[in-house]
Amino acid sequence: MLRFALAAALAASLAATVPAAADGPLTVEDARARILLPSRPGAAWLTIRNAGEADRLVGAESPAAERIELHTHIHEGGVMMMRKVESVEVPASGAAALEPGGDHLMLFGLKAGLKAGDRFPLTLWFEKAGRVDVEMRIAPLAETAPKRKRR
């Protein structure tokens, strides 16, 4: 019983340190993921708002995926291709938007059974701000189709 109380107190003190990150310069909005087939990699997008100095998104991890890579899309010979990148710039007093058709998170080895409407935790790692925890929502397919450019 005492051990349990100590563990609870420790958990509470750890939890109390978490809001410090939320008080940092970065806030994340519109965090959403798309899973076409559970056996295939998923994609995720979000918008990072930055009230402070320039930073860089350098990695991500989640209990819902074995591995997460930062990707971008490039046009090569008229074909849209994905390319792994080491980081995504987050400008000072600005925002970085990861959007369908552009920069994204690629989720490999997804946990079984994830479906539209589910939520899962994801941790973003930044060069300066360190760790930022977000909650991803698995969006319906129609919501995550790349926007078509108007001619």
Type of residue numbered 128: K
The answer to whether the CB of 45 falls within 8 A of the CB of 88 is no
SS3 42: strand
CA gap 84, 82 in Å, rounded:
7
Among 58, 106, 111, 137, binds Cu ion (CB under 5 A): 106
Report the residue number, 55 or 103, with the smaller CB distance to Cu ion. Answer: 103
The answer to whether the CB of 32 falls within 8 A of the CB of 139 is yes
CB of 53 to Cu ion, least distance (A): 28
18-57 footprint of Cu ion as x/- string (CB under 5 A): ----------------------------------------
Report the residue number, 53 or 89, with the smaller CB distance to Cu ion. Answer: 89
116-135 footprint of Cu ion as x/- string (CB under 5 A): --------------------
Report the residue number, 96 or 129, with the smaller CB distance to Cu ion. Answer: 96
Question: What is the number of alpha carbons within 13 Å of residue 56 lying toward its C-beta?
Answer: 8
The DSSP string of 75-131 is EETTEEEEEE-S-EEE-TTSEEEE-TTSSEEEEEEEPTT--TT-EEEEEEEETTTEE
CB of 41 to Cu ion, least distance (A): 7
Query: By CB under 5 A, what part of segment 66-105 binds Cu ion?
Result: 71, 82
CB of 105 to Cu ion, least distance (A): 8
Residues forming contacts to Cu ion in the complex (CB under 5 A) are: 71, 82, 106
